[in-house]
């Protein structure tokens, strides 16, 4: 293998780092994020006149109305794929219940008072299950809103009910996403690198996911 003496491009994870997300997992995350982003922004535009200007960068009102439902079903597909990829990691463990009770310590950066966490902490698991719940309500109500012209006149009274619950589910998911993006970008340094480049330092893994760190570094219980 030919190597340069002065600059070597890396093709492997550096030896002191731990692979947190494989490239397939990162593709899944960002496909979910991109489809959600379009739907979330266009949905907020349709929700209130004060945010209708959001349709401008999304291609304009009619374009946003065209893509919102189509990409919405893409989002649903991707998040269920994500659930499949991480089905073992999203299982609650006894430490999670204690973590959830002591979540105030997490919010106030007293992480040393929290129980050790596995690959995902209890907050991430709760986030995932809330998003999955909205990803069930949103397409069920959304399909009716996508093609209201096929809804018979006798059940037109159902349309505003459906729109209402679509909006409620969307607002819940927007609230969760605000927390998720805030934490991923500014509150937990190193997590942005984990979900983009894929690996984290040993210290990061030990600090935030001690059980996972032990599992990864013991070199056992590996699948």
Partner 1 sequence: MAKLLQIKAISGHAGPVAGANTSRDYDVCKLIDVTTCIGCKACEVACMEWNGYPTQTTTFDNTYQTMPDTKWNYWNLIRFNEFVHPDGSLQWLMRKDQCMHCADPGCLKSCPADGAIVQYANGIVDFNQANCIGCQYCVTGCPFDIPKFNPQTKKVFKCTLCSDRVSNGLEPACIKSCPTGCLHFGSKEDMKDLAEKRALQLRTHTPHTNAGVYDPAGVGGTHVMYVLHDIDHPERYGGLPKNPVISAWVGLWKGPMKWAGGGGIFLGLLVAAVHFLRWGPKEAEIREDLLPPVPPEATHGD
Instruction: Give the span between the Cα atoms of 205 and 169, in whole angstroms.
Output: 33
What's the angle, vertex CA 46, arms to CA 159 and CA 59, rounded to 5? 130
- Are 71 and 35 in contact, with CB atoms under 8 Å apart? yes
Specify the residue for token string 């605000």. Answer: 178
**For the chain, how many helices (H) and strands (E)?**
9, 2
> In this complex, which beta carbon is closest to partner 1, that of residue 5 or of residue 221?
221
219 phi and psi angles, rounded to 5 deg: 70, 25
Q: Which stretch in 2-10, 71-79, 125-133, 215-223 sits in contact with partner 1 by CB under 8 A?
A: 215-223
Residues 9-38 interacting with partner 1 (rule: CB under 8 A): 12-22
Residues 145-164 interacting with partner 1 (rule: CB under 8 A): 145, 148-149, 153, 156-157, 159-161, 163-164
Residues 41-80 interacting with partner 1 (rule: CB under 8 A): 44-50, 52, 55, 61-62, 64-66
- Beta-bridged to residue 18, according to DSSP, are 200
- Are 23 and 53 in contact, with CB atoms under 8 Å apart? no
Binding pattern to partner 1, positions 86-125, x when CB under 8 A? ---------------------xxx-x-------x------
Positions that interact with partner 1 (CB under 8 A): 12-22, 44-50, 52, 55, 61-62, 64-66, 107-109, 111, 119, 145, 148-149, 153, 156-157, 159-161, 163-164, 167-168, 171, 174-175, 178-179, 182, 186-189, 199, 201-204, 206-208, 212, 215-219, 222-223
């Amino acid at each position: 293998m030919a190597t340069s003496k002065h600059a070597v491009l890396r093709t492997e994870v550096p030896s002191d780092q731990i692979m947190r997300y494989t490239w397939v997992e990162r593709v899944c995350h960002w496909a979910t994020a991109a489809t959600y982003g379009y739907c979330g922004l266009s949905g907020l535009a349709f929700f209130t006149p004060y945010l209708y200007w959001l349709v401008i960068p999304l291609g304009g009102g009619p374009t946003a109305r065209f893509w919102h439902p189509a990409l919405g079903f893409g989002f649903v597909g991707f998040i269920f794929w994500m659930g499949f990829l991480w089905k073992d990691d999203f299982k609650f463990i006894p430490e999670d219940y204690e973590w959830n009770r002591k979540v105030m310590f997490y919010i106030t950066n007293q992480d040393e008072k929290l129980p050790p966490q596995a690959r995902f902490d209890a907050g991430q698991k709760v986030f995932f299950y809330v998003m999955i719940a909205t990803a069930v309500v949103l397409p069920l109500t959304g399909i009716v809103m996508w093609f209201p012209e096929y809804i018979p006149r006798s059940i037109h009274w159902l349309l505003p009910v459906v729109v209402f619950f679509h909006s409620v589910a969307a607002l819940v998911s927007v609230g969760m996403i605000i927390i998720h993006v805030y934490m991923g970008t500014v509150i937990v340094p190193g997590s942005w690198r984990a979900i983009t480049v894929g690996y984290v330092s040993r210290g990061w893994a030990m600090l935030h996911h001690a059980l996972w760190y032990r599992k990864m570094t013991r070199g056992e219980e590996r699948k």
